[in-house]
A = this chain, B = another copy of it.
Amino acid sequence: MASQFKNNSITKRDENFAQWYTDVCKKAELMDYSSVKGFINYLPYGYAIWEEIQKYLNKRFKEVGSHNVYLPMVIPESLFNKEKEHVEGFAPETLVATYGGGKELEEPLIIRPTSEILFSDMYKRMISSYRDLPKVFNQWCSVVRWEKTTRPFLRGSEFLWQEGHCLFETQEEAEENALKVLEIYDDLGRDVLAVPFVKGRKTEREKFAGANATYSIEALMHDGQALQSGTTHDLGQGFAEAFGISFQGRQGKLEIPYQTSWGVSTRLLGAIIMVHGDDNGLVLPPAVAPIQVVIIPIKMQEPGVLEACKDIYEKLKAEGVRVELDDDDNKTPGWKFSQYEMKGVPLRIELGPKDLSLGVATLAKRVDGSKTTEKIEDIVKRIPSLLEEIHIDMYKKAVDFLEHHITEVHSIEELKAAIEKGGYAKAVWCGDEECELKVKELTNGATSRCMPFEQVVFDDKCPICGKKAKHVVYFARAY
């Protein structure tokens, strides 16, 4: 792809994080602002990262018996209004179609903000006996939520995601499904994105509209703010009851099934950028990098240089490595170095006449800029392990950062200080929504991110109200 961005200077990350983020999104050619206000164009480089995430999840979702489907992008208003909490949660941010084929529609159509409604409506027709269960369907699509302020990948009027919607015979199976998919998301972070998550259960206040329980994975950005990166919902029987879904159970009685839903979105691209990126731009984990290795010939007019580069290129390609050779002679090697750094390519191979005469090439890791010299003949077999090393380096760095930004707090003052420092304040809590609101007020916006699964209530009293502490909660400012 030819680059439409000629100038690589970006805002320094620690000077203005928000501007740095936008600069990286644009200069790395991940996206482009469209002429439709609040909507973005996902460019090839950004979309290819999403496609790698899709491949991984499609494989893993098979473990929970999932099948892909596609349901309509619009929901009739009357259907949308069936589940009370749900409609209250989503109605304020919907886009609504009112004209079709030149005429006013008999009933307005809501552009889907999420598809619990349509799946429930379909399942009603599909389920009659316990033999028809479980149903585990997933859909890759875009959804629309009418947002006032938008940011690329983080908050947009339209974003890409997957949404799983499942029905089970028992509460236990539903719970197991919600937790298993959360584990898959967590694995995606650890093994693919090199992003460690804090995971747990959302408080009543923060859970999904219409759910019994919401579980989430939360990533920590370089600026100390959390990013909710994926959620799974135990929906209980609420939607099923609202939509009249029932089945004949094993004992012959009519029963109501238990439902779950779960999703991750292109927000994950935001997490990758803000966890790994630096002043030189994007830093991509090898597993999702559209280009894992770039080969840059030095003085490529000199005899043998281009041939040697091409040879490495062909061999790496044959091994399934996503490799590019940049032999554009209109650009200097220096220009190319900074260009591929901006694009976060994990590994760069430099090869010039001197190297060639010594039978070596230079390998530079994007994550820390470290360079090593390798024999040309060893390069092809070294690359897979090098990419793995890079992944481990990136993950370790992110884990270190996360661990240094979880502060156990025992008072309001400590909580406030922890939030000011950035990252999570780990506190005990009485369970009252009022105390969550109080924290938000006192910290200028920190919210409860989740209650971790391992609950060791380390203080007796809620630091906010002094009542008996019941839970451990992570508080943080969040995107």
Write the nearest CB–CB distance from A160 to chain B, whole angstroms.
Answer: 6
Chain B residues near A43: list those with CB within 8 A: 69
Residues of B within 8 Å of A51, CB to CB, are 68
Alpha-carbon distance between A96 and B105 when the two chains are bound, in angstroms:
10
Contact mask for chain A residues 55-95; partner B; CB cutoff 8 A; 1 contact, 0 none: 00000000000011111111110010000000000011111
* A253 within 8 Å of B (CB atoms): no
What are the residues of chain B within 8 A of A160 when measuring CB–CB?
Answer: 70
Could you tell me the distance in whole angstroms from the C-beta of A224 to the nearest C-beta in chain B?
30
Residues of B within 8 A of A41 (CB): 69-72, 118, 122
Copies in the complex: 2
Among A4, A32, A91, chain B packs the most CB atoms within 10 A around the CB of: A4
Nearest CB of B to A122, in Å: 5
A39 within 8 Å of B by Cβ? yes
Smallest beta-carbon distance A239→chain B, Å:
14
B72 with A39: CB separation less than 8 A: yes
> What separation, in Å, do the CA atoms of A91 and B101 have in the docked complex?
8
The bracket for how many chain A residues form the interface is: 35 or more
Q: Max chain B CB contacts within 10 Å: which of A42, A74, A92, A108? A: A74
Instruction: Give, as a whole number of angstroms, the nearest-CB distance from A338 to chain B.
Output: 18
Determine whether the beta carbon of A122 is less than 8 Å from that of B32: yes
A246 to chain B: closest CB distance in Å? 15
Nearest B-chain residue to A91, judged by Cβ = B102
Interface check A320, CB cutoff 8 A? no
> A61 → chain B, closest Cβ, in Å?
12
Q: Quick one: given A76-B36, A79-B35, A158-B73, are A99 and B98 in contact (CB under 8 Å)?
A: yes
A322 to chain B, nearest CB (A): 13
A93 CA to B93 CA, complexed, in Å: 26
Q: Which residues of B contact A18 (CB under 8 A)?
A: none
- A142 interface neighbour in B73, B96, B101, B126, Cβ under 8 Å: B73
With A2-B132, A35-B79, A125-B32 as known contacts, state yes or no: A142 contacts B48, CB within 8 Å.
no
Contact B137–A44 (Cβ < 8 Å) = yes
Q: How far is the CB of A22 from the nearest CB of chain B, in Å? A: 16
Residue in chain B with minimal CB distance to A129: B2
Alpha-carbon distance A121/B36, docked complex (angstroms)? 10
CB distance from A479 to the nearest CB of B (A): 20
Give chain A interface residues in 10-65, CB to chain B under 8 Å: 32, 34-36, 39-44, 47-48, 51
CB contacts (< 8 Å) of A158 on chain B: these are 72-74
Partner of A4, one of B94, B99, B126, B330: B126
User: Using Cβ atoms and an 8 Å threshold, which residues of chain B touch A118?
Assistant: 34-36, 41
Q: Is A144 an interface residue (CB 8 A)?
A: yes
Does A1 sit at the interface, judged by CB under 8 A?
A: yes
Q: Is A133 in the interface zone, CB < 8 Å from B?
A: yes
B72, A73: Cβ atoms under 8 Å?
no
Chain B CB within 8 A of A298 CB: no
A313 at interface by CB-CB < 8 Å:
no
Residues A138-156 near B (CB distance < 8 A): 141-142, 144, 146-148
Q: 16 interchain pairs (CB within 8 A)?
A: A32-B122, A34-B121, A35-B76, A35-B121, A36-B75, A42-B69, A47-B70, A73-B73, A92-B102, A94-B101, A95-B100, A96-B99, A96-B100, A97-B98, A97-B111, A99-B108
Q: 9 closest pairs, A vs B, by CB?
A: A44-B67, A39-B72, A101-B146, A42-B70, A96-B99, A100-B146, A97-B97, A36-B72, A2-B132
Other A-B pairs, 8, CB within 8 Å; known A35-B118, A92-B101, A95-B109: A34-B122, A36-B109, A41-B122, A42-B70, A70-B142, A94-B100, A97-B111, A98-B98
